[in-house]
Amino acid sequence: MIPAKWRILLGFLPIFVAAAAVVLNLFAKPSAGKCSLYPHSHYWIASKSIVTPSGIISGAVEIKGGKIVSVVEEDVRKEHAWSRQVIDYWDAVVMPGLVDVHAHLNDPGREEWEGFPSGTRAAAAGGITTLIDMPLNSFPSTVSRETLMLKVNSAAGRTHVDVGFWGGLVPENAMNTSSLEDLLEAGALGLKSFMCPSGINDFPMTNTTHIKEGLSVLSKYKRPLLVHAEIQQDNGNSKLPDGAKDSRSYNVYFNTRPASWEEAAIKELLTVTEDTKTGGPAEGAHLHIVHLSDARSSLDLIREAKQSGHSVTVETCPHYLAFSAEEITDGDTRFKCAPPIRDAANKEKLWAALMDGHIDMLSSDHSPSVPELKLFNEGDFLRAWGGISSLQFVLPVTWSYGRNYGITLEQLASWWSEKPANLAGLTFKGTIAVGKQADLVVWDPEAKFVLDETYPVYHKHRNISAYIGSKLSGKVLATVLRGDFIYEDGKHSLLSCGHPILQ
């Protein structure tokens, strides 16, 4: 791959490349008060592989004033070569910037776990241009207009990518319509609830009565409810006799949260989503099941509900597609999450469902903590804090493992950009099309790298990530947010120029 400083071209004839690069390299450093590593507000990005809604083209994307003003194929691009600034990425892929609808940045209140500055720097380095932050793990949890404003104020001027916010659906506001409406009118993009204990004291679990009330309010605003779908079941697998098992064993933890928990929750949810059908009392509301792990009975239930007209979607996460229970070493609590990573056969079924379109999209569920909470010395899976730290790596992880299943660039753009943007109501993001915000990621699908101690990682606590030590393909070369180059060749723009997104 040709280094970035030699890719900025005034034209396309090879005889002019060296001279143009020398001249334009004078502008490579960001200026004070500027958000971009590239100084022009009107320019073209060219590539042989641009992923558009109508397919992959060889051509160029014209960007002006932060928006995409034209997308042209190669023959048209050449006609404009002399009249515009052009950055040619040759064989690299140009894709819409990733939209991650499920991330915990824990800010304000638990910035030592991650925080807006570090989390959004990691996102920018990973090709993510938009994050939707979850309402819990920060303190206080985002369950009211006032707590949402705390979140918005904490993010202001401290984010490298755009950040939106889910509000929380909890028993207290679920039964108080005016409180819930106030939270949505303050700008929450939708709501999130748990059907099992969340682990956070000020974010209690909900039942189907609360969820039904939430969907009724959401129907007025045409916004989604995201649900952590596990219900604790009193069965033999989910309880362990005192002292009978080694808590360092991953299988011990795995057996405490069997797939029947997901199945039970989804069965209950689908009795409520009957109301979201056309003509139903909650028409306009939408239910989204987060981080699906069980690819057997739970997925069958979701598929049947979709066919019956329920307004339902589902996501899974790269860690469920990359890892299997059989591979996890006892004591390695980096891999603890909920629902748990299941067996290899389940992983194959998840991939099949994703490839067939039964799983709608992907998210990171980036859920970091301070290293002490992972209990690395004890390796105790039952007491360690759960959550996979992954934000910077989701694109190369999806690509590296997905190549074994024949994934396409168009599928990547759908799972990581278009469908997540649609879920969050961000109609101005998610595709490379005229009129859309110029959010792009440029990446080299053939570049191989190892996430070792020398690889730049922008998470606050790199050692808690389950991906450290992985060999991956697909290196992010540049990230463009609203036309600004916020990341290129390992360098971030000097300013934090992400915007808060309120509905």
pLDDT in tens, 71-84: 999 877 666 655 56
* Confidence label for 314 from pLDDT (cuts 50, 70 and 90): very high
Count of CB atoms situated within 10 Å of the CB of 267:
14
Phi, psi of 501 (to 5 degrees): -115, 120
Tell me how many degrees the CA angle 262-265-270 measures, rounded to the nearest 5.
Answer: 120
Q: Which of 120, 134, 61 is nearest to 96 (CA)?
A: 61
Lowest-confidence segment of 14-18, 230-234, 272-276, 319-323 by average pLDDT: 14-18
CA distances from 56 to 39, 59, 126, 419, 432 (A): 28, 9, 21, 18, 11
Tokens of 498: 């992400």
| Percent of the chain at pLDDT exceeding 90 | 87
Average pLDDT, integer, range 23-34:
36
pLDDT at 4: 46
| Percent of the chain at pLDDT exceeding 70 | 89
- Say which residues have a Cβ less than 8 Å from residue 52's Cβ, sequence separation at least 6: 71, 431, 432, 433
Average pLDDT, integer, range 283-312:
97
Q: Are 165 and 132 in contact (CB under 8 A)?
A: yes
- Say which residues have a Cβ less than 8 Å from residue 330's Cβ, sequence separation at least 6: 246, 248, 249, 250, 379
Rg (CA), the chain: 23
pLDDT at 32: 36
Residue 306: Cβ-neighbour burial (10 angstroms; 0-12, 13-18, 19+): middle
pLDDT at 233: 86
Q: Are 136 and 103 in contact (CB under 8 A)?
A: no
Lowest-confidence segment of 87-101, 225-239, 322-336, 364-378 by average pLDDT: 225-239
What type of residue is 268?
E
Q: Which of 166, 156, 168 is nearest to 189 (CA)?
A: 166
E-strand stretches of 24-117: 42-52, 55-64, 67-73, 86-88, 93-96, 98-103
pLDDT in tens, 378-414: 999 999 999 999 999 999 999 999 999 999 999 999 9
Average pLDDT, integer, range 20-43:
56
Q: Are 333 and 375 in contact (CB under 8 A)?
A: yes
pLDDT at 74: 85
Q: Are 430 and 95 in contact (CB under 8 A)?
A: no
pLDDT in tens, 464-502: 999 999 999 999 999 999 999 999 999 999 999 999 999
Residue with tokens 């999806």: 398
Average pLDDT, integer, range 186-190:
98
The CA dihedral of 197, 199, 204, 206, to the nearest 10 degrees, is -30
Phi, psi of 473 (to 5 degrees): -125, 145
What type of residue is 66?
G
pLDDT at 83: 58
Count of CB atoms situated within 10 Å of the CB of 73:
13
Taking the C-alpha atoms of residue 228 and residue 206, their distance in angstroms, rounded to an integer, is 10
Whether the model clears a pTM of 0.95, i.e. scores above it, the answer is no
Q: Say whether pLDDT at 56 is over 70.
A: yes
DSSP-derived 3-state class of residue 204: coil
DSSP-derived 3-state class of residue 328: coil
With b meaning 16 or more CB within 10 Å and e meaning fewer, what string describes 33-65? eebbbbbbeebbbbbbbbbbeeebbebbbbbbe
- Say which residues have a Cβ less than 8 Å from residue 291's Cβ, sequence separation at least 6: 102, 228, 315, 316, 317, 320, 337, 339, 363, 365
- Reported residue count of the chain is 503
DSSP-derived 3-state class of residue 394: helix
Residue 109: Cβ-neighbour burial (10 angstroms; 0-12, 13-18, 19+): middle
96, β-bridge pairs: 440
As a whole number, the mean pLDDT across the chain is 91
Q: Say whether pLDDT at 51 is over 50.
A: yes
Residue with tokens 């990581």: 416
The two beta strands, 491-492 and 500-501, are unpaired
Lowest-confidence segment of 26-40, 58-72, 427-441 by average pLDDT: 26-40
* Confidence label for 13 from pLDDT (cuts 50, 70 and 90): very low
